[in-house]
Structure 1
Amino acid sequence: MSGIGHNGGPGNGDGFLRHCWRMARRELIGGGGTLPIEVVRARVARAKALGLDYKTYAGVRATTGRDLVAFLYSSNALGVFRPGQVIADAPLLRLQASAAQPHLGLSGRALPGLLDQIAAKSELALPRFGTNWGEMRDDLKAWLMAQGLPGDAVLMIGETDHERELMTAGGLAGFISGQSFLGAGAGR
């Protein structure tokens, strides 16, 4: 038995109780069921705190079954391509206003100061274009483990198709372009 706050969920095993939980969840999410208004209000507030529109947040949440806790920003999404370049004020304020834990994914060379600029918890050298799928997966999974993050609770903010592929290989929650999240012209 679990502690205070646990709802007695399906537990382990494949018994009848687990079957009932699966059916109830399926009916609530996909079977035309509606979420209680309190849950919808809480999720709208969470989406706003993360800086996401509700449709995007709800889609990721429905797909993964988890809340988002961290964003992995690629240097491409931030519009920073050379050492000493800074992020424009408006995108930086939007990034800082998000309740998601920020992490930095470097596409290419090291960019001193960028980690501090976005107050990132960690820095990851993103696998280069042409890296095989298995290596990309292993690199991202190792980074996730080192950060203590479940992949399906991390949203990637990127710009390129390669970064979208990295998101898939690493089992991350989803992908949003930097232009749509931070606005055009993030770097200056």
Structure 2
Amino acid sequence: MIGHNNGPTMEPGTSWRTHCWQQARRSLLKTVPIEIVRSQMVRARELGLNYKTYASIRAESGQDVVAFLFSTNALRLLRSQDVLAPEAAEQLEALQDCGRLLAVNPPLPLPQNPLFSTITRAPAPFAPWAEMRQSLREALGKFPSGGVVLVGAPEVEREWVTAGKLAAYLPASRYFSQETQNG
């Protein structure tokens, strides 16, 4: 309705409904068929994630990961002369059946890089929510926001997830670590 900010409901019984939802989710997680777990493990490998990370993203968003949005901060591209680290490029090339998007932080120019399907301007630091949301919608293009995972570097980029209604936030240090890829 007009003026509603989609904040928490003020109706009575919210805590009870939350409790019921959490109980139902816990009981479902215990009975996931092994075939689904196996297929999710394969998908996690295709995305360069460990199963636990992938399963938590999927459980939170309710959707499969369809793309990763990387910030230039996450890729340590802080100056116009910086180049992508070979290890990071290798990990990006290994992504299968998944979009690779790059959000270029100001004032860097938009680079040309065939590893990314879309390269756009990142939201300005501390931009208003509406501006941030619009910038992220342009960055996502055809990808549904609920299936896009943001890989960011400074903690301030985490708010892009809320503004853009993205699936999850992974710190770059975690995404590019062996911990996320293997175990």
Confirm or deny a common fold (TM above 0.5): yes
SS at match of 1:77: coil
Given the alignment of the two structures, is residue 67 of structure 1 paired with residue 64 of structure 2, yes or no? yes
SS at match of 1:86: coil
Q: Give the alignment partner of residue 176 of structure 2, picking from 159, 179, 182.
A: 182
Q: How does 1:149-168 map to 2 (within 5 A)?
A: 149-168=143-162
Q: Closer, same or farther in 2 for the Cα pair 1:143/1:83, shift >3 Å?
A: closer
Q: Which residue of 2 aligns with 1:124?
A: 120
| Unmatched 5+ stretches in structure 2 | 1-19, 179-183
Q: Which amino acid aligns with 1:125?
A: R
Q: Which residue of 2 aligns with 1:137?
A: 133
Give 1:142 deviation, angstroms: 4.0
| Per-residue deviation, residues 147-184 of structure 1 (Å, max 9, x unmatched) | 21110100001001221111221000101111221249
TM-score by length of 1: 0.75
Q: CA RMSD in A?
A: 2.1
Q: Which residue of 1 aligns with 2:165?
A: 171
Q: Give the alignment partner of residue 108 of structure 1, picking from 89, 106, 109.
A: 106
TM-score by length of 2: 0.77
Identity of counterpart residues, as a percentage? 34
- The size of the alignment, in residue pairs, is 155
Does the CA-based 8 Å contact 1:156-1:176 persist in structure 2? yes
Single out whichever of 135-144 and 168-177 deviates more from structure 2. Answer: 135-144
Given the alignment of the two structures, is residue 96 of structure 1 paired with residue 90 of structure 2, yes or no? no
Q: Which amino acid aligns with 2:143?
A: L
Give 1:79 deviation, angstroms: 0.4
SS at match of 1:87: coil
Task: Report runs of 4+ in structure 1 exceeding 4 Å deviation.
Answer: none
